[in-house]
Amino acid sequence: MKLSDLLKFDNIVVQCHDNPDADALASGFGVYEYLRMNGKSPRLVYGGRNIIHKSNLVLMVDSLGIPIEHVDFLDNPQLLVTVDCQYGGGNVTFFKAENVAVIDHHRVSGELPAMNRVMSYMGSCATIVWDMLREEGVEINRNLATALYYGLYTDTGEFTEITHSLDRDLRDEADFDSTIVAKFRNANMSLEELDIAATALLGRDYIEEYRLAIVKAGACDPNVLGIISDFVLEVDAIDICMVFSVIKNGVKLSFRSCIKEVSASEMAQEVCRDIGSGGGHYYKAGGFIPMDLLIDSYNVYCREKDVTPRFQYSSDGTHKRPSDSAIKSLLEERIFDYLNDTEIIYGEDFDTSGFKKVDYKKCPIPMGYIIAKDILPVGCSMGVRTAKGDISTPVGEDTVVIIGEDGSVRILNLDRLNKSFRIYKDWRFTVKQTDYVPKFKNKDTETIVDGMAHARVCIPVEEDFSRAFVLKHKVKLFKNKDDSSYISGRPGDIMVLPNDDRNEAYMISKTEFEKTHIAKGEEENRKKAVVFDLDGTLLYTLEDLKNATNYALKQKGMPERTLDEVRRFVGNGVRLLMERAVPQGADNPEFEETFALFKEYYDAHCNDNTSPYDGIMDLLEELKVRGIKMAIVSNKIDFAVKSLDKLYFKDYMTAAIGEMEEEGIRKKPAPDMVQKALKELGVTQDEAIYVGDSDVDIATAKNSGLECVSVTWGFRDVEFLKEHGATNLIDEPVELLNYV
């Protein structure tokens, strides 16, 4: 959903959850302002028994001019937009509305309306609204930027719990008023919360074996948990701590560590694994566990421990949950499980004898490369932001950025690039498998540059088989003893040692390993051939087909056809194209003469405007390098197919087969042409894949027993292809390499 989707409604109400916090206020303010800027007269409201009373929130509303109202009733608005909550949720008053939209960053708790933008991995709802405003090209004013910045600040424990780079972008790019934010910060803790912190510290538990403190705090602002955590870590006997608070809809947690052997972010992830979300920085992190998942986990815990569950009811008697002591027992179990059964190893001392060995080599999966000096001056400091974090490096004459299909980034030099990759200097590379595309910055001038515009394709050169090891238990690997951080793996993960070099070691999940690596003995399972459709797949031919069609129609005094009409007509051979283009089709007494004029013109002009799609020639070159055999099968006139093949693809295709029905070979979607191609290629149907752009191609592949890959750059759109059974869709030629 986009914010512009809301503009078709008039009577619009934006609703925050009951007892709105800074994130809810900021998010609601952002949506309200967008609607107001676009000529609407929205309302910004919240319900519940309590009105806003916390000093920092009252100051926020007054200082930034947030027009929020406390209401008990709404008169069935045309559209109700809930922000930082979900319609029908337990923390938001229910109001009837004709239509509902949801913008939220919490876990989905029920059925969502059709209009929604829920991104549960974001640190704040303010981040989502900020990104939606940017999508619409909105210039965010100082007050709104300040609200959004402060919403993120409070919901991520003063930024310590940020895990997604979009949150980092808001933190770094917002043009906020630092003076006003300082006032908010200094009004953040009430006397009541000071008492909560003091009581929590008095009741702390200390586990000497781990130098660990566990602290249970009363219900309070998440930032108070961070204040308690920071204070606890000041104690000389404490290296790591977990502070938690039970709130109505779950448990909020804060983690701290001051030792390199324990990452606070990893500790948060492990404690919240499968029942919540956690993360942050190496030394500071946070987490949240929804109450329903916590209850499920607690019941499992009680069954496994054979203990009687301990539950209590909320003060109003409406909600049943585990008691505070029960929750503490469950959290202790999880943090002890994380700290125990973990082997800390150092690269130079790594003994592999106790691990199951796997011989492997990397699949030649397309990656991207950028020559750093092409986007930034030599000598400056380059910052690269990815979905997983930030990287900084000086720009040298030979600095190269390598980009994975998931948007991950690593830094190499030109010599390593040339030795380890096949380089395609004209083949554009784009990131597909991530919701965050890498961003590049000159850190000396704080200037953002469009680095991805310079990204080109490189293919890893297949290496000799190297070693990998299956982990039996949790491992933390320091590549060197003086390293300040480690890489970690869980049971079943794979520890990979490229070229047996421990300094290059990395951890990868078994699922991801099987996608990106080839085990010894599995090389023969690769596809050996590709059968391509021609028009709309390899070549853009539509303009010349339209011109030939209209030439023939014009000669006969018939109405000409538009490009879109011709696009819909193609796919079943040129005769059927003309049957669709000529009024009354084949029943028209002048059809045969018109069709003959088409063929005469097209034979002479089939290459006036025709050309391969971007990336096709590089794709064919890479397939050739890999030893993949190729053929063309088209319902186009055989003479034209062979002419175009000779002109463009003679160095790549073993066979080029056009319409040959006079020789007893049925056209597509019958399997005859594909079977002829497979015979000329010398492969079986299991050893080949079929690539096309239409419903005819999908049917052809099915009838021929081949796996089909459907391209989206051709003559049919994605929805049409899906409706006709497409299961493997690619948006760019380079993506085909994932199927061979």
In this prediction, residue 439 carries a pLDDT of 94
In this prediction, residue 525 carries a pLDDT of 65
Dihedral sign, Cα of residue 350, residue 354, residue 357, residue 363: negative
In this prediction, residue 360 carries a pLDDT of 77
Sheet harboring 100-104: ordered strands across? 68-70, 43-46, 12-15, 79-83, 100-104, 115-118
**CATH value at residue 212:** 3.10.310.30
Verify that 397 and 385 share a domain, yes or no: yes
Quick check: bond before 498 cis, omega within 30?
Answer: no
pLDDT digits (tens, 9 = 90+) for 63-81: 999 999 999 999 999 999 9
Of 543, 562, 560, 540, the closest CA to residue 551 belongs to: 560
Q: Name the band, by pLDDT with cuts 50, 70 and 90, for residue 463.
A: low
Contact (CB, 8 A) for 364 and 459: yes
**CATH value at residue 733:** 3.40.50.1000
Instruction: Using alpha carbons only, give the angle 214, 218, 220 rounded to the nearest 5 degrees.
Output: 110
How many angstroms separate the CA atoms of 429 and 421, rounded? 14
Q: What are phi and psi of 72, to 5 degrees?
A: -110, -15
Contact (CB, 8 A) for 153 and 115: no
Q: Name the band, by pLDDT with cuts 50, 70 and 90, for residue 465.
A: low
Contact (CB, 8 A) for 692 and 701: yes
Of 289, 313, 318, the closest CA to residue 301 belongs to: 289
First to last CA, the chain: 35
Sheet harboring 356-362: ordered strands across? 506-508, 494-497, 466-470, 356-362, 517-519
Last residue of a domain, one of 416, 442, 460: 460
Burial class, 626, CB count within 10 angstroms (exposed 0-12 / middle 13-18 / buried 19+): middle
Verify that 41 and 139 share a domain, yes or no: yes
Tell me: pLDDT of 347 over 70: no
Contact (CB, 8 A) for 75 and 10: no
Mean per-residue pLDDT, 504-528: 74
CA max distance for the chain: 98
**CATH value at residue 69:** 3.90.1640.10
How many angstroms separate the CA atoms of 531 and 151, rounded? 54
Contact (CB, 8 A) for 11 and 77: yes
Tell me: pLDDT of 42 over 90: yes
Q: Name the band, by pLDDT with cuts 50, 70 and 90, for residue 524.
A: low
In this prediction, residue 737 carries a pLDDT of 92
DSSP 622-650: HHHHTT-EEEEEEEEEHHHHHHHIIIIIT
Task: Give me Rg for the CA atoms of the chain.
Answer: 31
pLDDT digits (tens, 9 = 90+) for 435-459: 889 999 999 998 999 999 999 999 9
Q: E strands within 367-455? A: 367-371, 381-386, 389-394, 399-403, 409-413, 421-428, 439-442, 447-449
Verify that 506 and 557 share a domain, yes or no: no
pTM of the predicted protein model: 0.72
Mean per-residue pLDDT, 250-258: 92
Of 630, 665, 636, 637, the closest CA to residue 532 belongs to: 630
Burial class, 723, CB count within 10 angstroms (exposed 0-12 / middle 13-18 / buried 19+): exposed
Q: E strands within 57-190? A: 68-70, 79-83, 100-104, 115-118
Verify that 163 and 51 share a domain, yes or no: yes
In this prediction, residue 601 carries a pLDDT of 93
Verify that 267 and 414 share a domain, yes or no: no
Verify that 327 and 209 share a domain, yes or no: yes
The H-or-E segment that residue 547 falls in is helix 542-555
**CATH value at residue 553:** 1.10.150.240
In this prediction, residue 352 carries a pLDDT of 64
Percent of the chain with pLDDT over 70: 95
Verify that 238 and 204 share a domain, yes or no: yes
In this prediction, residue 315 carries a pLDDT of 66
In this prediction, residue 587 carries a pLDDT of 93
Verify that 453 and 592 share a domain, yes or no: no
Mean per-residue pLDDT, 678-707: 96
Residue 738 or 512, more confident: 738
Amino acid identity for residue 226 in this structure: G
DSSP-assigned letter for residue 512: H
Percent of the chain with pLDDT over 90: 64
Instruction: Using alpha carbons only, give the angle 148, 406, 728 rounded to the nearest 5 degrees.
Output: 115
SS (H, E, C) 421-432: EEEEEEEECCCC
What does the mean pLDDT of the chain come to? 90
Tell me: pLDDT of 401 over 80: yes
Cα–Cα distances (Å) from 91 to 18, 56, 248, 314, in that order, read 6, 21, 8, 14
Last residue of a domain, one of 186, 212, 236: 186
Verify that 19 and 143 share a domain, yes or no: yes
- Domain encompassing residue 478: 344-359+464-525
Two tokens at 300?
């499992």
How many angstroms separate the CA atoms of 159 and 152, rounded? 7
In this prediction, residue 382 carries a pLDDT of 96
In this prediction, residue 466 carries a pLDDT of 67
pLDDT digits (tens, 9 = 90+) for 569-619: 887 778 889 999 999 999 999 999 999 999 899 888 888 999 999 999 999
202: left (phi over 0), alpha (psi -120 to 50) or beta: alpha
Two tokens at 577?
């194209």
In this prediction, residue 497 carries a pLDDT of 74
In this prediction, residue 221 carries a pLDDT of 77
The 3-state DSSP class for residue 585 equals helix
Dihedral sign, Cα of residue 418, residue 421, residue 422, residue 425: negative
Mean per-residue pLDDT, 350-372: 79
Q: What are phi and psi of 654, to 5 degrees?
A: -80, -35
Two tokens at 90?
């337990």
In this prediction, residue 151 carries a pLDDT of 96
How many angstroms separate the CA atoms of 14 and 29, rounded? 9
Mean per-residue pLDDT, 527-531: 95
Verify that 29 and 138 share a domain, yes or no: yes
In this prediction, residue 556 carries a pLDDT of 93
How many angstroms separate the CA atoms of 383 and 430, rounded? 19
In this prediction, residue 19 carries a pLDDT of 85
Verify that 10 and 138 share a domain, yes or no: yes
Verify that 510 and 644 share a domain, yes or no: no
Mean per-residue pLDDT, 674-695: 96
The H-or-E segment that residue 495 falls in is strand 494-497
In this prediction, residue 17 carries a pLDDT of 92
In this prediction, residue 506 carries a pLDDT of 76
Counting the structural domains of the chain, the total is 6
Q: Name the band, by pLDDT with cuts 50, 70 and 90, for residue 348.
A: low
Tell me: pLDDT of 507 over 90: no
pLDDT digits (tens, 9 = 90+) for 266-304: 899 899 999 988 887 788 888 899 898 999 999 999 999
Question: Among 42-56, 259-273, 482-496, which stretch is predicted with the lowest mean pLDDT?
Answer: 482-496
In this prediction, residue 537 carries a pLDDT of 96
Contact (CB, 8 A) for 475 and 491: no
Q: Name the band, by pLDDT with cuts 50, 70 and 90, for residue 217.
A: very high
Q: Name the band, by pLDDT with cuts 50, 70 and 90, for residue 708.
A: very high
Of 404, 460, 406, the closest CA to residue 433 belongs to: 406
Last residue of a domain, one of 144, 167, 186: 186
Tell me: pLDDT of 521 over 90: no
pLDDT digits (tens, 9 = 90+) for 3-38: 999 999 999 999 999 889 999 999 999 999 999 999
Contact (CB, 8 A) for 453 and 429: no
In this prediction, residue 594 carries a pLDDT of 94
Beta bridge partners of 508: 494
